[in-house]
Amino acid sequence: MRGHLDGLLLSVLEAGPLHGYAVISTIEERSGGALELPTGTIYPALNRLERLGLLASSWQSVGERRRRCYQLTDAGRRSLDTQRGAWREFTATISAVLNPAPAPRTAR
């Protein structure tokens, strides 16, 4: 799970800027509640992605409060594409092993 956290965070920010709690809610919503992260650990992860230049952030007024909102940078989009490609390749490989194609019948 931890190894895929960056990809998850980048993917929920693909549609547009979100603040920290909205990022967490979106992950839980998309996973149907199956992914329950310790939400407090998301904030340092967002800070790290910003340090790497994959996200940009700014304070914005959301409702009555000011919140730190994050959005993907161009480098973040490229990184998300790369992570999606790697994930597809990984799942295809595992799937090929777990669900092998039926062997052709040989004539007796």
Partner 1 sequence: MTALVHETDPVEGYLAALAAAVHGPAKARTRMLAEIRDGLEDAVSAQGSIPRHHAAARALRGFGTVEEVAASCQLELTIAQTRHTSRALALTVPFLLACWYLIRTAGPSGDGQVPRVAQLVAAHLTGAATIAAVLAAAALAATGTLARWLPTPPGLPRVVAWTSTSTGAAMAVATIALLAASPSSANWPLVVLAGLFTAVSHAMVAGSARACRECARLTC
Q: Which residues bind partner 1 (CB under 8 A)?
A: 19-21, 24-25, 36, 38-48, 51-54, 65, 67-68, 75, 79
Q: 33 or 102, CB closer to partner 1?
A: 33
With vertex at residue 20, the alpha carbon angle to CA 14 and CA 86, rounded to the nearest 5 degrees, is 40
Work out how close the CB of 79 gets to partner 1 at its nearest, in angstroms, rounded to a whole number.
7
Torsional sign, CA 89, 94, 97, 100: negative
- From the CB of 46, what's the least distance to partner 1, in Å? 8
Closest approach of partner 1 to the CB of residue 90, in Å: 19
Concatenate the DSSP letters of all residues of 59-76 into one string: EEEETTEEEEEEEE-HHH
